[in-house]
Amino acid sequence: MFKLLGVSLADLWTQRFTFARMGIDLQPMSATGDGALRRPVLYGIMVLATSFELCTVCAFMVHHRHQIVLCSEALMHGLQMISSLLKMTIFLVKSGDLISLIHQLQEPVPSRVVRRGQQLAAIYFLMCAGTSVSFLLMPLALTMVRFYQTDRFEPVSSFRVLLPYDVTQPHIYALDCCLMGFVLTFFCCSTTGVDTLYGWFAVALSSHYRRLTTQLQLHLPLSDPSRPDLGLGHLFAQHARLLALVDRFNAAFREIAFVEVLVICVLYCSVICQYIMPHTDQNIAFLGFFSMVVTTQLCIYLFGAEQVRLEAEGFSRQLYQLVPWQGLSPNHRRLLLLPLQRAQGDMVLGAYFFDLGRPLLVWIFRTAGSFTTLLNALYAKYETMPTA
């Protein structure tokens, strides 16, 4: 069992790499499937560092609550940290079910599909890594340049926080950079690992539906009319198994997708505000990478769910079109009516109150646009008014 699972996980090299950086292994050590967290000390340090920075961001927002631009930027950082903490907590709670689901979905997936999926996952990892590196190195480089030009240590920061210590001291600033290293590693690895794992599941489920459609096209001309099920009983059994896998996937990722949808609306609004309401000391490199990460997150969850739905619709359409219903006896028709009705049911990957797909993507863009318009109006009214 563990050897088979090891072969299955060999294709998830991006996910295994990012989870390993946080002390998590996707391969269980026991038959119960528990124990994904291998290095709890490392993971605990990252969580504590992220929680500490989240508190400093909240303190900054309270202190500068009347400055819309600065609050929106701090909100952008805070929301991403909240998202990472919640997604990783949910992932660890449900890691046993997810690992078992990986093994059941992996084997029939074509290697070319897996290879293409891992290439896209690697690109997404580079986006997240570029976000973290630019966030840390750009202010550090500006601080060194300013020190070289003026011979005075004046730290530059693109992180809107209210720290309980003085970072104008070089040794304190160095320790703060080390602390940010843990925070940024947690952001990069948690975002890449969880999001690309969701994308991998969506690709695998789509491949399963595509395989069922191909088998239906190949086996139906060779079906035995003397058999009550036309010799398609194995195909219906595979479809029932696939429906059960989709239900398990929905149950495992429902909370994570719900957190993603809730956070992404306000997060996208905060990102847009940084473009239309610029300010001093803005990290353009970080903002560019982060914009790509947020947009790609939307595509992974919403277009991935949409792809699964379209493949399920394609299978049900082929089942109706290819089966010669007009030439079947009444007994055959009654027997095949149940799998036909079940195949034509809506295939929806949900997140509690939301159904993932293209309509939700439009709703998120509209909601983010409405929030942005409101903030821009408040900014123009209260922060750009000429002083008397």
> SS in 3 state form for the chain?
CHHHHHHHHCCCHHHHHHHHHCCECCCCCCCCCCCCECCHHHHHHHHHHHHHHHHHHHHHHHHCCCCHHHHHHHHHHHHHHHHHHHHHHHHHHCHHHHHHHHHHHHCCCCHHHHHHHHHHHHHHHHHHHHHHHHHHHHHHHHHHHHHHHHCCCCCCCCCCCCCCCCCCCHHHHHHHHHHHHHHHHHHHHHHHHHHHHHHHHHHHHHHHHHHHHHHHHHHHHHCCCCCCCCCCHHHHHHHHHHHHHHHHHHHHHHHHHHHHHHHHHHHHHHHHHHHHCCCCCCCHHHHHHHHHHHHHHHHHHHHHHHHHHHHHHHHHHHHHHHCCHHHCCHHHHHHHHHHHHHHCCCCCCEECCEECCHHHHHHHHHHHHHHHHHHHHHHHHHCCCCCC
**Distance in angstroms (rounded) separating the CA atoms of residues 60 and 287:** 19
Residue 386, in any domain of the structure: no
**Amino acid letter, residue 81:** M
Answer yes or no: is 385 within a domain: no
Write down the pLDDT at residue 15.
87
Question: Does a structural domain hold residue 387?
Answer: no
Residue 49 sits in which domain range?
A: 1-379
Q: Quick check: is 252 in a domain?
A: yes
Q: Please state, in angstroms and rounded to a whole number, the distance separating the CA atoms of residues 382 and 351.
A: 37
Please report whether residue 64 resides in a domain. Answer: yes
Q: Which of 90-104, 257-271, 302-316, 328-342 has the lowest mean pLDDT?
A: 328-342
Residue 312 has pLDDT above 90, yes or no: no
Least confident piece of the model among 276-285, 298-307, 359-368: 276-285
Q: Name the residue type at position 46.
A: M
In a domain, 388, yes or no: no
The number of distinct structural domains making up the chain is: 1
- Residue 176, pLDDT score: 83
* For the ranges 45-59, 227-241, 339-353, the one whose mean pLDDT is highest: 45-59
Instruction: Identify the CA nearest to 191 among candidates 9, 368, 14.
Output: 14
Res 332: pLDDT: 65
Tens of pLDDT, residue by residue over 161-196, are: 667 777 778 888 888 888 888 999 999 999 999 999
Q: At 288, is the pLDDT very low, low, confident or very high (cuts 50, 70, 90)? A: confident
Tell me the C-alpha to C-alpha distance, in Å, between residue 225 and each of 213, 232, 316, 328, 336. 20, 10, 21, 8, 13
Mean pLDDT of 309-323: 79
Where is pLDDT greater, at 89 or 28? 89
Residue 110: the pLDDT is 59
CB 75 within 8 A of CB 270: yes
The DSSP bridge partners found for residue 37 are 24
In a domain, 283, yes or no: yes
**Confidence at residue 186, expressed as pLDDT on a 0 to 100 scale:** 93
Provide the pLDDT confidence category of residue 223 given band limits of 50, 70 and 90.
low
Residues 291-305: tens digit of each pLDDT? 889 889 888 898 888
Q: Mean pLDDT over residues 58-65, rounded?
A: 83
Q: Which residue has the higher pLDDT, 223 or 367?
A: 367
- The amino acid that residue 384 corresponds to is T
